[in-house]
Structure formats: C-alpha cells, structure tokens
Amino acid sequence: MGLEVCKAVRAADDLDLVAAIDQGDDLEVAAGAEVLVDFTTPDAVMANLRWAIDRGVHVVVGTSGFSEQRLEQVRSWLADKPGTGVLIAPNFGIGAVLMMQFAARAARYFESAEIIEQHHPRKLDAPSGTATHTARLIGAARAEAGLAAMPDATKEEMSGARGTDIDGVRVHAVRAAGLVAHQEVLFGTQGETLTIRHDSLDRVSFMPGVLLAVRAVPERPGLTVGLDPLLD
C-alpha cells in the first residue's frame, strides 16, 4: 500500500511526495510534510501517530486494528493540538464505503446477518478492519431497532466453524492466493436473502479515497473516522 500511495501522490499535480518511510527509517525526514500517510502495522501505527500529532503534522491512516480504546487515545493526543487533523478509515475504497453504508441501512430489516471477508494470504490481521467495522455498524443498527438475537440453533460446533462474534454478528475470514480484498454481507429473513458484495480487484481501488483524505485532512481538525463525511 505504501508504494501504491507514493505512486498516486507523485502522479497528482497538486501534491508533492516529501518522504517515503520504511521500517527503521528516521521519521524526522518527514518533519516538513503537511500530511503523513500511514499504512504500516497495528504494532507500529500508534507511535507514528504520536510523532506526527506532537509536531502538528496531519495524518491519514489506513492501517487496521483501531479499537475504540485506540481511537480515544488519538482523541486525547489531539486535544493538545487543536489545529491538527487525523483521518482513520478502515477502507478507502469508495465502493467499500458504500457497501458498509448499505449494510448498515439494511440491518434493521433482517433477522440474520453474517459477514464473509476474503483477502490475500499475506494479510497479518483477521478479521479485516472493514469486516470489524461493518459488524459494529450492523450491531448498532440492530440494537437501535430493538432486534432480538439472531436465530441460530447450533449446539455443538468445531472451534471456529461459526466464525467470530463481533457485536452479535458472525464474521468469517478467508485467506487465499489470488485474492485482493473482498467482502460479502449476507442478510436473511422469512423467505428472502440479500447479499451485498464488494470486491477490490487491485490496490489502485484505494487511491482515490486516500487522495481525497490527504486533501481534506488539513481542513478537518480533530479525529475523523471513516471516509463517509468526505463523500456527503
């Protein structure tokens, strides 16, 4: 993703690439930058955010693994830097953002909802940040609508067979060579199902969203979660 972002920034007439930083490089080479883009690992991202916020450098983050606790930590760092903006998005694909919005909208009308995410086998985390975020959106919409727990008579299961439970929604993670990033949200109720599917077939799919965020973040002090407010 880092290489793809560098390519996209170089190709944009209104943006300059100040530095490309790999593991072990000194972050100070980015000190003159207006915006830092982080696609690293859940272990590395918080230190990078701290470094940038301390210097008033705006940040766009695609790295996955953001719990509510981590978001709160970022908010507290930003409280001391009121002019600085951070945008963290579980997925920069415009189609993926719409898939999550459509899933959140559909959730209240169906008894059952399950998520199947599919990714390339080099991915370090499971389930994906996108699937986790989608499950939380569906869980919140179901709670707001007062829906009961989903029907499921399973009594005996082999470990992992029913995926993992995130806010009451089962999430299944597939890893296979040839895949890029894909997700299906399967809804079911009496006599009908609805499947909402998104496919990133190439990593260029994330670049319009990343560039949109890079251009917008200096004008958005504080923490923005997700690309949604930039698409309204």
Ligand X SMILES: O=C(O)C1=N[C@H](C(=O)O)C[C@H](O)C1
Ligand Y SMILES: NC(=O)C1=CN([C@@H]2O[C@H](COP(=O)(O)OP(=O)(O)OC[C@H]3O[C@@H](n4cnc5c(N)ncnc54)[C@H](OP(=O)(O)O)[C@@H]3O)[C@@H](O)[C@H]2O)C=CC1
Q: Is 84 in the site for ligand Y (CB under 6 A)?
A: no
Q: Is 130 annotated as a binding residue?
A: yes
Q: Is 129 annotated as a binding residue?
A: yes
Cβ-in-10-Å burial (0-12, 13-18, 19+) of 106 comes to middle
Cβ-in-10-Å burial (0-12, 13-18, 19+) of 112 comes to middle
Residue 119 touches which member of ligand X, ligand Y, none, C-beta under 5-8 Å by kind? ligand X
Residue of 135, 112, 137 lying closest to 192 (CA atoms): 112
- What's the closest the beta carbon of residue 193 comes to ligand X, in angstroms? 23
Q: What is the dihedral of CA 105, 229, 169, 174, to 10 degrees?
A: 110
Question: One of 58, 81, 119, 182 is an active-site residue; which one?
Answer: 119
Structure tokens at 172: 């299944």
Residue 63 touches which member of ligand Y, ligand X, none, C-beta under 5-8 Å by kind? ligand Y
Report the residue number, 122 or 155, with the smaller CB distance to ligand X: 122
How many C-beta atoms surround the C-beta of residue 189 within 10 A? 13
Residues contributing to the site for ligand X (CB under 6 A):
64, 90-91, 119, 123, 128-130, 181
Annotated binding site: 62-64, 89-92, 120, 129-130
Question: Interface residues with ligand Y (CB under 6 A)?
Answer: 1-2, 21-23, 39-41, 44, 62-64, 89-92, 125, 129, 206
Catalytic residues: 119, 123
